[in-house]
Amino acid sequence: MPSQDDVVSALRALGIRASADALHALIKQLTKSRASAVQCFEDLVALERREREERNLAARTKDATIGAFKPLDRFDWNHPRSIDRTLYEELLELDFLSRGDNALFRGQSGVGKTNLAQALAHAALLKGHTVRFTTLAAVIADLSRQESVPALERRLRRYTRVDLLAIDELGYLPCDSRSADLLYSLISRRHEKRSTVISTNLAYKQWGTVFPGAACVAALIDRFAQHCHVIDIDADSWRNKEATERAARKKPKA
């Protein structure tokens, strides 16, 4: 009669991805409960499905490069003077992804635009969607490094094929006309097919200042804004507020 170690080794050899420890624990549990053959198979399938889902999520999370962010249960919705919380919560339901709609987070520096975009991207990941989170500067630098048209086309697919592309910090650094062309290529290829989220401190009419002299800016805005949910955030900077509070806590009492 094969030992428990033999059974675990055979399952791993067949391609079962669950760890040896998890398989040993399952066998012990099933033996103790005198489970039927059908129950044994059902529990093994459930264990393997959980393992594959966890690995899939881990791989997609690594590719997404979302970074650390404050969980939404710690986001102070009372801090902004104005923010459409209802719209944001609707976006969290992710129906906009099935329509290929876009989303724009707009407000001055430090008001939580990036955090809300990160949380939205993470929610999409948890629901099984592919995501990529990047700054405008990073994606432009990545695409600009490609030395041939075939190489650029391959790299563009990294950003065009994901279900949700989030581009952070539009408006913080000036870009040239070539950068505008690259961003336009991304937006136009994703238009009405896959969703794009952008965070910015600028109104649409000011985007031209980021790409001075670029002829495609109007067309870029037209495509992005056609099916776009806009969340304007009117607030003082979180970072300034937290810095002031830290300074107040350190100030010696009279």
What is the set of domains in the chain, with CATH numbers? 4-63 (no CATH), 72-240 (3.40.50.300)
Residues of the chain above pLDDT 70, percent: 94
Q: What is the DSSP string of 213-250?
A: T-TTHHHHHHHHHHTEEEEE-B---HHHHHHHHHHHHH
Q: How far is CA 100 from the centre of its chain?
A: 15
Crossing angle between the packed helical segments 4-13 and 20-33, to the nearest 10 degrees:
130
Q: Kind of pairing, strands 102-106 and 195-200?
A: parallel
Q: Is residue 149 very low, low, confident or very high in pLDDT (cuts 50, 70, 90)?
A: very high
Contacts of 193 (CB under 8 A, 6+ apart): 100
Angle at the Cα of 9 from the Cα atoms of 8 and 15, rounded to 5 degrees: 95
- Tokens, residue 126: 């948890």
Q: Does the pLDDT value for residue 240 go beyond 70? A: no
What number is the average pLDDT over the span 198-223?
Answer: 95
Tell me what pLDDT residue 13 has.
Answer: 87
Q: What is the DSSP string of 81-128?
A: SB--HHHHHHHHTTHHHHHT-EEEEE-STTSSHHHHHHHHHHHHHHTT
Rounded to whole angstroms, the Cα distance separating 196 from 139 reads 13
Rounded to whole angstroms, the Cα distance separating 5 from 79 reads 57
**Burial zone of 240 (CB within 10 Å; 0-12 exposed, 13-18 middle, 19+ buried):** exposed
Give the number of C-alpha atoms closer than 13 A to the C-alpha of residue 151, restricted to the C-beta side.
7
pLDDT in tens, 154-197: 999 999 999 999 999 999 888 999 999 999 999 999 999 999 99
Contacts of 79 (CB under 8 A, 6+ apart): 112, 235, 236, 238, 241
User: What pTM, to 2 d.p., does this model score?
Assistant: 0.81
